Chains A and B, each alone.
Chain A
Amino acid sequence: NAGVTQTPKFQVLKTGQSMTLQCAQDMNHEYMSWYRQDPGMGLRLIHYSVGAGITDQGEVPNGYNVSRSTTEDFPLRLLSAAPSQTSVYFCASRRQGSYNEQFFGPGTRLTVL
């Protein structure tokens, strides 16, 4: 199993550009989520999905879109990048059930100039 994979590992954008961060998992997990990690703020939930076709907002959803057309994939779209979106982004997945631990991808370091 590859687990949770994310691409790219690093990305530099200019303000106003759009892009998609890719996330895939091969563990057949129902639940997937996106977090951003900023210094001194821990990990904050952006969006999550409890299954294909179902998504919901987390704590900091503004400026991001998600969709879940398959169980395996959960891309995160930045519509118009802003410097405030400079962060490290983590995708995670787990089996259904809040008691289950999350498996995290390796992260994407995004810089918006």
Chain B
Amino acid sequence: AQKVTQAQTEISVVEKEDVTLDCVYETRDTTYYLFWYKQPPSGELVFLIRRNSFDEQNEISGRYSWNFQKSTSSFNFTITASQVVDSAVYFCALNFGNEKLTFGTGTRLTIIP
């Protein structure tokens, strides 16, 4: 069975601080896909990034970066110089090709102005 664990239920940081959201996954498959989604207070779900199991390169997009490490089964998400607009619930998700996307329970991030 596949499982995604986001141990951090809630995180609060002061604006401009860096913050890392943890994601640990379990799967027996060698081919799988990892995703991060953002859910702002307005409620919609927004796709942020996708990573496949064969690509361990870290990704940077502006203030966002992702660290994928197969050795520790982790796919962590870092926001640099956080802003109030980053306040949201962030979900990590896993799909190993069986059409069923498994989500973690989410991390609620609050950026304090």
Other-chain residue from A41, A45, A104 in contact with B44 (beta carbon distance below 8 A): A104
- Is A98 in contact with B96, judged by CB distance below 8 angstroms? yes
- Is B91 in contact with A88, judged by CB distance below 8 angstroms? no
Using CB atoms, name the residue of chain A closest to B4. Answer: A42
Residue tally, chain A, CB below 8 Å to B: 26
- Is A107 in contact with B43, judged by CB distance below 8 angstroms? yes
- Is A48 in contact with B50, judged by CB distance below 8 angstroms? no
Question: How far is A45 from B98 in the complex, measured between Cα atoms in Å?
Answer: 13
Supposing A41-B105, A43-B91, A45-B100 touch, asked if A99 and B33 sit within 8 A by C-beta, the answer is: yes
Question: How far is A41 from B43 in the complex, measured between Cα atoms in Å?
Answer: 15
> Which A residues lie within 8 Å of B100 (CB)?
45, 48, 58-59
Question: How far is A68 from B96 in the complex, measured between Cα atoms in Å?
Answer: 24
From residue A2, how far is it (CB to closest CB) to chain B in Å?
Answer: 14
Other-chain residue from A33, A42, A48 in contact with B106 (beta carbon distance below 8 A): A42
Question: How far is A58 from B106 in the complex, measured between Cα atoms in Å?
Answer: 19
Residue B64 at the chain A interface, CB threshold 8 Å: no
Within 8 A of A (CB), among B34-66: 35, 37, 43-45, 47, 50, 52
By a beta-carbon cutoff of 8 Å, the part of chain B in contact with chain A is 9, 33, 35, 37, 43-45, 47, 50, 52, 91, 95-106
Apart from A98-B98, A107-B44, what are 12 other A-B pairs with CB-CB below 8 Å?
Answer: A33-B101, A40-B105, A44-B103, A48-B100, A58-B100, A59-B100, A92-B45, A98-B33, A98-B96, A99-B33, A101-B50, A102-B47
